[in-house]
């Protein structure tokens, strides 16, 4: 046999053997894909994990999930206990979603999130989700109209984040806002709706404790104040016969926040929103291809101001600065003055004014 042919056969054999060994090693590892945490009696923690099953571990050769649950004092202790009940080595490096029950979120999350902050194998891009009810029950349910629960929820969230119809709530963003004394964290909220899971709103935190929540109907108006948008979608409905319903897509938004000091030495904030979008649907008595277009734009601007002002008042009442006004106030103060300031108390009474300018980029293919 020629020397080159012999070497090629040897290399090929080693390659095949290596692949087979890697496959066997992967089958020995249980990658946690989703983890849920809830309160348990005695100030303890109930942890439920979802681990995909593959190959010979799955029933009938299909991919499914192995669900494990235990009550412990911390996520790491729970992982050690759960590893005693599975034939595979549990690994946290593939966690996509961290779910917390609402009761646990209202008590404070930091003591349980510390491990995810310190563990270098866990991605900072993990999504934080608050469940209305029991997070362990959601992770344990099967939703027949969808793929396995972990994949279903992860794809649902990533789709809404990509559309910019909902603010991203990643692990690194939660930590960033937790450590920033000028802004409070937020998190995605979900609930079960018949045989599906649905995004239900936004959880608003003060430090690490969930204080209140905004329903889905408020998410768009909150997002305008929270961040700049480049491709959002939204629909506005009203009792006004000139604007029963109007839907927009490809929404672009630019926010500007200005903080000033009035004559009494008190700080005031002005939030300027410049919004534009293309009409996808319009139910009303006006003609968008005529001068009536300006009238509709004015109505939408006024509606955004009204709703945004209402949301700011909700945040002030609950002393949660989820849009980061404290960062702008802090920039107007010396370090010593800011450290003496009880920001959440100051925010509660701070005058905040909303200004909005809305423009239609187009009104579709239909000319009225």
pLDDT digits (tens, 9 = 90+) for 191-236: 998 888 999 999 999 999 999 999 999 999 999 999 998 888 888 8
DSSP class of residue 217? Answer: G
Task: State in Å, rounded, how far the first CA of the chain is from the last one.
Answer: 82
Average pLDDT, the chain: 87
% of the chain exceeding 90 in pLDDT: 54
Of the candidates 276, 279, 295, 280, which has an alpha carbon nearest to the alpha carbon of residue 357? 276
Among 155-164, 291-300, 324-333, the least confident range: 155-164
Angstrom distance (rounded) from CA 81 to CA 38: 16
11 has a pLDDT exceeding 60: no
Of the candidates 112, 92, 107, 119, which has an alpha carbon nearest to the alpha carbon of residue 46? 112
Of the candidates 271, 273, 266, 272, which has an alpha carbon nearest to the alpha carbon of residue 348? 266
pLDDT digits (tens, 9 = 90+) for 264-320: 889 999 999 999 998 888 898 888 888 888 999 999 999 999 999 999 999 999 999
pLDDT digits (tens, 9 = 90+) for 17-58: 444 444 446 667 888 999 999 999 999 999 999 988 765 545
Provide, for the chain, the percentages of residues in helix, strand and coil under a 3-state DSSP scheme, each rounded to the nearest 5.
Answer: 40, 35, 30
* pLDDT at site 86: 86
**Cβ neighbours for 345, distance < 8 A, ≥ 6 positions apart:** 319
What 7-12 contacts at long range (C-beta under 8 Å, 24+ apart), as own/partner pairs, is: none
């Amino acid at each position: 046999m020629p020397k080159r042919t012999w070497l090629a056969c040897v290399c090929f054999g080693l390659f095949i053997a290596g692949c087979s060994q890697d496959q066997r090693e992967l089958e020995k590892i249980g990658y946690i894909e989703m983890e849920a945490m809830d309160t348990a009696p005695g100030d303890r923690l109930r942890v439920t994990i979802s681990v995909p099953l593959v190959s010979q571990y799955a029933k009938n050769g299909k991919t499914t999930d192995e669900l494990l649950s235990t009550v412990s004092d911390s996520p790491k202790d729970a992982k050690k206990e759960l590893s005693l009940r599975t034939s595979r080595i549990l690994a946290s490096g593939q966690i996509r979603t961290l779910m917390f029950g609402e009761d646990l979120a209202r008590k404070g999350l930091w003591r349980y999130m510390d491990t995810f902050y310190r563990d270098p194998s866990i991605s900072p891009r993990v999504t934080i989700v608050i469940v209305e009810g029991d997070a362990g029950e959601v992770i344990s349910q099967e939703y027949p109209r969808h793929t396995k629960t972990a994949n279903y929820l992860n794809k649902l969230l990533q789709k809404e984040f990509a559309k910019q119809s909902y603010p991203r709530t990643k692990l690194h963003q939660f930590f960033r806002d937790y450590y920033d004394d000028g802004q409070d964290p937020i998190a995605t909220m979900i609930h079960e709706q018949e045989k599906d899971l649905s995004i239900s709103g936004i959880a608003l935190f003060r430090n690490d404790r969930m204080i209140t929540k905004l329903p889905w109907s408020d998410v768009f108006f909150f997002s305008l104040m929270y961040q700049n948008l480049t491709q959002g979608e939204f629909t506005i409905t009203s009792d006004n016969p000139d604007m029963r319903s109007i839907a927009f897509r490809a929404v672009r938004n630019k926010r500007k926040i200005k903080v000033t000091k009035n004559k009494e030495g008190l700080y005031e904030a002005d939030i300027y929103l410049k919004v534009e979008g293309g009409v996808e649907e319009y139910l009303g008595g006006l003609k968008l291809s005529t001068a009536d277009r300006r009238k509709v734009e004015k109505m939408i601007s006024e509606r955004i101001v009204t709703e945004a002002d209402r949301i700011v008042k909700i945040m002030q009442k609950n002393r949660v600065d989820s849009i980061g006004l404290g960062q702008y106030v802090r920039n107007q103060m010396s370090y010593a003055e800011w450290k003496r300031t009880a920001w959440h108390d100051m925010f509660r009474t701070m005058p905040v004014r909303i200004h909005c300018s809305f423009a239609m980029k187009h009104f579709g293919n239909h000319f009225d």
